[in-house]
Amino acid sequence: MRVISLLLLFLAIPLTLVRAQTADEKFDTLASEFLRGYFEVHNVLATRTGMHDFDTLLDDMSLTAIQLEVNRLHLFREKLTDIEPKDLSKQKNIDYRILLEAIDDMLFEYQDLREFEWNPLVYTDIIGNSIADMIYRSYAPLDQRLQNAIARAGQIPRLLETAKANLKDVPKIHVETAILQNKGNIDLLTVELLKAGQGGSPAVQESLAMASRRAVAALSEFGTWLEKDLLPKAGRDPRLGKDLFDKKLTSTLHTPLTPQQILDRAESEKARVQDEMYRVSLPLFREYFPENHDTTDHLAVTKRVLDRIALDHPQRQFLMDTIRHILPDLEQFVTDHDLITLDPTKPLVIRETPEYERGVAVAMLEAPGPLEKNQPSFYDVSPVPADWTSDQAESYLREYNSWSLRDLSIHEGIPGHFVQLYYSNRFPSIIRNVFGSGPMVEGWAVYAERMVTDAGYMNNDPRMKLVSLKWYLRTVLNAIIDQKIHSYGMTQSQVMDLLMKEGFQEEREADGKWRRALLTSAQLSTYFIGFQEIWDLREAYTSLMGDNYTLKRFNETLLSYGSPPVKYLRELLMSR
């Protein structure tokens, strides 16, 4: 008995030295486990994030794989409920809620929205991004990246067969866009990939050429299937309908506002902004048209002034050069006015949008993943399509005139998306970076437009002020048409009429926005709600800080916590 007692005492000693896991540590363990499984399913997204364990794999979109992921999401949701949120530190508590919301959002997408059954862009996006990241991101030696591209190209036929099996009742506009993007994917594999391969070893070049030929054959056959088989049967209404759209809007925005409150706020803001634009336009109208004394039609006055400003635009061949000259000026202005600290070591590359990504947005910012180091961000701008008529090209260039390109470059570049996203990547939470808030990201970019203009950009030129207001009005109208199209059946002619007459947009821009609203339901609302929430937060923060408030302090504090929904930023800033 004495020997047994001593043995039990000996065994018990190490147990007393073992420290129990804290709630934060339990959450970190569970979050790491969840993300590992998430990247195993979303292989292309893993590469974009900077997690390179799955670079040779292409997402499995089969119904069996999707059901397994749904099961995994339900399982992890149960596991998360075993953690008591109040035991977590403030930052972990926020990450905990973000992860719960992300799981619910994914379950909604898989179980209710089910785009994999009706949206062919799901598949063209995966293919294009899977190869592009191997070409444009120098995260590893070229031969290694080319080998990864070879492996992924070999799985393209399998993914395309899955797409053909899954896609059934589809909207026409989605198929038409997929046809264009599929051609872009073929170009990516036949031109861009092989061009990159010229720097590889002879053995890799040979394998690459063979993989490219096989993938292109499958893509060509898929393109024929899209045009000859799927397109003639495409009869699904691209509108989601009120019930599904409301759910998606709630899932996308994570705001306490209801869809009706969002619509009401946007309608009210539309009237206010139009009035402000008239007040800014009036002196310019009298300068430009001294013989015309009729200023009773406020919309007509504003439009005539904007039409005059739009004449100042670059020729189509100089569009990219114009943007390249704008960015250094913006960088200097932001620094001189002490708006936010910029990082000169972060590279920004201006380029034409790759063909496989065209057809949705005119411009975008593609930032490196949060786990990447010293990789460039790409400021992508779609060129004027070669098949457009001269009138269509002129419409595009009038919309993106010399003044608008400045506002666009604030939004996408400095101090907009480019700056916000490299600040975001500094925050040590992979949860916030992987599941970043669209409204916060887009809201910051719209807020940056207002902030820079208010600071006197372009020497307080009223033309810059008016164009900036037009861009903000575009944000407001985005939220209106997003909801009215999908929930209330707004027609293309009604959208065009609203955007062109009350939003002062050119025909090409209005037509593109109609397409985009159908292709990216709920996304157009992120700009308006994100800006509104950030602006409201700045007002509250200004009052809280009193004499200690500075604009730079607010901006840098706001961006220091990554890209969570603004409701969480409010918690953090207002408790400081």
For the cut 50, the answer to whether the pLDDT of residue 72 exceeds it is yes
Binned at pLDDT 50, 70 and 90, residue 4 comes out as: very low
Is the pLDDT confidence value at 5 over 90? no
pLDDT digits (tens, 9 = 90+) for 392-403: 999 999 999 999
Model pLDDT, residue 292: 85
Query: Which value, in Å, is the radius of gyration of the alpha carbons in the chain?
Result: 26
The most distant pair of C-alpha atoms in the chain lies apart, rounded to whole Å, by 113
Least confident range from 211-225, 229-243, 348-362: namely 348-362
* Residue percentage of the chain with pLDDT more than 90: 90
CA distance 69 to 53: 19
Higher pLDDT, 537 or 359: 537
pLDDT tens-digit map of 123-173: 999 999 999 999 999 999 999 999 999 999 999 999 999 999 999 999 999
Of the candidates 131, 141, 130, 70, which has an alpha carbon nearest to the alpha carbon of residue 106? 70
Section 64-83 average pLDDT = 97
Q: Which residue has the higher pLDDT, 316 or 325?
A: 325
Residue 564 has pLDDT above 90, yes or no: yes
Q: Which band of pLDDT confidence, cut at 50, 70 and 90, is reported for residue 6?
A: very low
pLDDT at 361: 73
- Mean pLDDT value across residues 340-357: 91
Question: pLDDT tens digit string along 437-481?
Answer: 999 999 999 999 999 999 999 999 999 999 999 999 999 999 999
Q: Residue 11: its pLDDT value, please?
A: 43
pLDDT of residue 344: 93
The answer to whether the predicted template modeling score (pTM) of the entire model surpasses 0.75 is yes
How many C-beta neighbours within 10 Å does residue 162 have? 18
- For 130, 358, 382, 421, the CA distances from 362, given in Å and listed in that order, are 22, 8, 5, 20
> What mean pLDDT comes out for the span 276-281?
98
pLDDT for the residue numbered 287: 96
pLDDT of residue 63 exceeding 60, the answer is: yes
Cis peptide before 415 (omega within 30 of 0): yes
Confidence tier at 576 by pLDDT (50, 70, 90): low
What percentage of the chain exceeds 70 in pLDDT?
96
pLDDT for 557 beyond 60 = yes
- The confidence band for 42, taking pLDDT boundaries of 50, 70 and 90, is very high
User: Edge-to-edge strands of the sheet including 363-366?
Assistant: 348-352, 377-381, 363-366
Check whether 95 has a pLDDT greater than 90: yes
- Among 356, 438, 353, 382, residue whose Cα is nearest residue 125: 356
